[in-house]
Structure 1
Amino acid sequence: MGAPGEVNENYRAKIPWDFYIRTEKHVIVNQPDIVVVDKENKRATIIDIAVPNDYNIASKEKEKVKKYLPLGEEIENCWNIRTTEIPVVIGALGAITPAHKMWLAQMPTAINAEQS
């Protein structure tokens, strides 16, 4: 993956990394860590990563999902695709929430990384 603010793209996918996403309506948070746009299936996955203190992982996970819901709705409206918000929250000492495996299972995995 390239530097922050770059977009990696091929014929199947586009991956803006730490990229400002323009929307028609104003949303407070519009720069997630990673967005994976699956062009073939018309899906976008908003991925935001945090490494808080271990005791704070559950609240940080909820915060990340709630924080990016408005952006997901705007992407759906503007780009005419479905979105999913995935928080990747791992405590500073390695703690994870019980939902962590469920979130990781929703990650897009079948997108070829070759440049076209």
Structure 2
Amino acid sequence: MKVDRILPEDLSPVNENDRPKILWNFYIRTDKHALANQPDIVVVDKENKRATIINIAVPNDYNIASKEKEKVEKYFPLGDEMEKCWNVRTTVIPVVIGALGAITPAHKMWLAQIPTAINSGEL
């Protein structure tokens, strides 16, 4: 799915058309309580029944690997609940860039999973 670029000032908490729905800093209600239920961005591809949870962090450079792992573990339970409640397949993607620009070896792999073309230089 290709998502057109939307600038943050153009975003309301929910933006959608016939195919994608983009939730930005939006509280996600689920049947079971998930401790982390307000991710930074959720992109829902209604046609393919897929949801992508994107969470962004800018920690100190020495802390990027642990922050990346933390983001995946933190939002994984929300993804499971969304799969049950919304009948979609979910993916959790951490976008972690150190304060001085450091990235993990997995950074490009994570970016490749976001449903639009983004490169590390833009971030």
- The count of residues paired between Structure 1 and Structure 2 equals 108
Which structure 2 segments of 5+ residues have no match?
1-9, 118-123
> Which residue matches 1:39?
46
TM-score when normalising by structure 1:
0.91
2:89 to 82, 91, 107: 82
> Which residue matches 1:99?
106
Q: How far off its partner does 1:2 sit?
A: 1.3
Superposed, which structure 2 residues align to 1:52-71 within 5 Å? 52-71=59-78
Q: Which runs of 4+ in 1 moved over 2 A?
A: none
Give the aligned CA root-mean-square deviation in angstroms: 1.0
Cα displacement string for residues 58-109 of structure 1 (whole angstroms, at most 9, x for unaligned residues): 0000000000000000000000010000000000000000000000011112
How far, CA to CA, are the matches of 1:108 and 1:24 in structure 2?
Answer: 27
Q: In the alignment, does 2:11 pair up with 1:2?
A: yes
Q: In the alignment, does 2:26 pair up with 1:19?
A: yes
SS in 1 for 2:81: helix
How far, CA to CA, are the matches of 1:95 and 1:13 in structure 2?
Answer: 31
Which structure 1 segments of 5+ residues have no match?
111-116
Give the aligned residue type for 2:48.
N
Give the aligned residue type for 1:85.
V
TM-score when normalising by structure 2:
0.86
Question: Sequence identity, in percent?
Answer: 81
1:50 to 52, 57, 64: 57
User: Which structure has the higher relative contact order (CA within 8 Å, separation 6+)?
Assistant: 1
